[in-house]
Amino acid sequence: MIDYALFFNAENLGKYTRFAIDNPSEIEQLKEILRTIRLKDPNIMVYVCAYGNELEDSRGEKFLYADSIWINGSLTKEMVSDGFQYNLNIEPSSIELLCDMEDLNQSPILYLQSDEEMIDLSLSPNLKYLENTITLYWD
């Protein structure tokens, strides 16, 4: 997992990080939806769940790819889903509670907070921290 702001910042996006939605105007729509969702709960934490390995494009450039966003806080799935009701072109394929996903306990959940700080959220007691996490997945 990577901090949302770190993944989607203008310097990284497209060069070092790439998301399932690759149209710049749709990325801006997604950012606006997430800003609106944050108004419902300013204390939520938003993460980008990237694959653990770097990919390489046709030019030999390495990048991290992600196709899901995790939102941790007091919001319900319905509250998050409502944010996409007028933006169906970028609606996630699924919106689920992380605790309902089968593969949650199968591998470490590493969180890159900054360029230099990484923690393992799958270690107890950190895993309890994720129990209210909602996952948004695009395929």
Query: How many structural domains is the chain composed of?
Result: 1
Return the pLDDT at 93.
Answer: 94
Q: Identify which of 44, 17, 58 has the alpha carbon closest to the alpha carbon of residue 136.
A: 44
Mean pLDDT of 120-133: 65
Mean pLDDT of 63-82: 91
Return the pLDDT at 112.
Answer: 60
| Cβ(64)–Cβ(51) below 8 Å | yes
Return the pLDDT at 75.
Answer: 92
Q: Please give the share of the chain, as a percent, with pLDDT higher than 90.
A: 35
Structural domain that includes position 36: 2-137
Judged against a pLDDT cut of 80, whether residue 77 lies above it is answered with yes
Mean pLDDT of 114-131: 61
> CA dist 38 to 41, 60, 122, Å?
5, 37, 25
Mean pLDDT of 8-19: 84
Return the pLDDT at 91.
Answer: 92
Judged against a pLDDT cut of 60, whether residue 44 lies above it is answered with yes
| Cβ(4)–Cβ(47) below 8 Å | yes
Judged against a pLDDT cut of 90, whether residue 28 lies above it is answered with yes
Q: 24 by DSSP, 3-state: which?
A: helix
Mean pLDDT of 62-77: 90
Judged against a pLDDT cut of 80, whether residue 43 lies above it is answered with yes
Give the span between the Cα atoms of 92 and 89, in whole angstroms: 9
